Amino acid sequence: GIPAGSYQLVLSSSATATSPGLPAGYGHTGEGTGTTADGSIDGTISLTVSAAATDRNFGIKKMLQAHNKAYVMSSSATTAINLPSSANGALRYRYLVAPAGTASSGNTPGAPTGTDPYTGTGATASDVLVIDPASYSGARNGNPVAGALVLRYKGVQLQAGGCAGTDAGGISCSLYNSATGKWEIAQFDAAQLEILVTEGVSSVGFAYAWKDAAGLISESAGYTVSFGGVLPLKLGAFTAEASAAGVLLRWNTLEEEGTDRFEVEYSTDGRAFRPAGSVAAAGTAASYRFTHRPATAGTHFYRLRMIDADGQFTWSPVRFVSDRAAAAAFTLSPNPATGSTVRLLWSGAAAQVRVTDALGRPVFATALAPGSPLGLPAGRWARGTYFVIVEGSGARYTQTLLVP
């Protein structure tokens, strides 16, 4: 009942459609007459009707399904790095996330995964992972941050535009498809994928998809990692030393993103800290110095409270300057400890001795008699730095003991 003429057959899920349209998750694999393809894969067949037309065939297939991933992890679970961007030498990545988990959510990021809808099994070695660098994103408390993330595979940063800088010529550079602007990783090895992140962000994300043997690319899935706060500034060296003017503190930053200031705090016992002063942040990698004049003699401990513009902060490691009087007041031998006991000899009157770990937690305390050696049970303590504090005759003396 169809008049002779030229027609176009259209495969669609709608009876009134004039253009191809398949349900979500399906893709065209070809069309033609009999076993002869018409040379295009678009869901249409051109047809000239002059007699009965039969054996016109369409091929469709369910596409692989990429899995959405969403994680919340602590910055302490990342690995500290200092790597330049291959595409922008002024940009450096400070954190590495290794997607070694197996779940699609939680606090341990996992690798991109997919499912074959026909078998219910995961993506196989014949399937190709597709990464779109245009989807890379980062945010600081909801505000976009450019250049916050890049994926690295087999040592090559998967940058927009392909391999750049020192990565050029790398074995993985051939994975970049210049026609689509995407990276296509065949025989994907999850152990070779890394997520590199700059500091100063609270979340990062990207999109990925899977391409099957027929060339069909799945719908994209989202992958996000939130850090429960802003990834902090990276501190370089931080030192404290006695000088004629007081205690000289020096420190430098490797990079600053949103840092407002450094508050210098000091303590006489390594536990209770109080403000000593404040130094404004430079806003970029910089070196700083600050001189503190202690009001009393003795050992002094110092730390930096590094505060971001939004009020979030982190602390630096603790540094200390020993009073020479402490070394004269009592001795520790051997130091570093080499056996189960460290000998303490005190030259003053009756006193109290206590030992704390680097976090100020007590590990030992006892009375100390003048002129009588005391054995400190260092062999029972974990490896680390300890503070031996002797208080007597109205004075407090502190020395550091290393337990290797």
What's the pTM?
0.60
Domains in the chain: boundaries: 5-62, 65-226, 234-321, 324-403
What mean pLDDT, rounded, does the chain reach? 87
Q: State the pLDDT at residue 363.
A: 94
Q: Are 277 and 310 in contact (CB under 8 A)?
A: no
Q: State the pLDDT at residue 25.
A: 86
CATH number for the 324-403 domain, one of 1.10.490.10, 2.60.40.3080, 1.10.10.10, 3.40.50.2300? 2.60.40.3080
Q: Please give the average per-residue pLDDT across 48-67, as a whole number.
A: 86
Q: State the pLDDT at residue 141.
A: 75
Q: Same CATH topology for 234-321 and 324-403?
A: yes
Q: State the pLDDT at residue 49.
A: 80
Give the CB-side neighbour count of residue 91, counting CA atoms within 13 A. 16
Q: For the chain, give the percent of residues with pLDDT over 90.
A: 41
Q: State the pLDDT at residue 327.
A: 55
pLDDT, one tens digit per residue, over 200-219 is 788 999 999 999 988 999 99
Of 143-152, 176-185, 229-238, 368-377, the range with the lowest mean pLDDT is 229-238
Q: Please give the average per-residue pLDDT across 285-303, as a whole number.
A: 85
Within 282-354, residue ranges assigned H as helices are 324-329
Indicate if the pLDDT at residue 231 is higher than 80.
no
pLDDT, one tens digit per residue, over 247-271 is 889 999 876 767 889 999 999 877 8
pLDDT, one tens digit per residue, over 388-404 is 888 876 667 777 888 88
Q: For the chain, give the percent of residues with pLDDT over 70.
A: 94
Confidence bin at 275 (pLDDT 50/70/90)? very high
Q: State the pLDDT at residue 257.
A: 67
In CATH, the number for domain 234-321 is 2.60.40.10
**Run of H or E residues at 347:** none
**Run of H or E residues at 239:** strand 234-243
Q: What strands lie across the sheet with 156-157, from one edge to the other?
A: 79-84, 92-97, 193-197, 149-153, 156-157
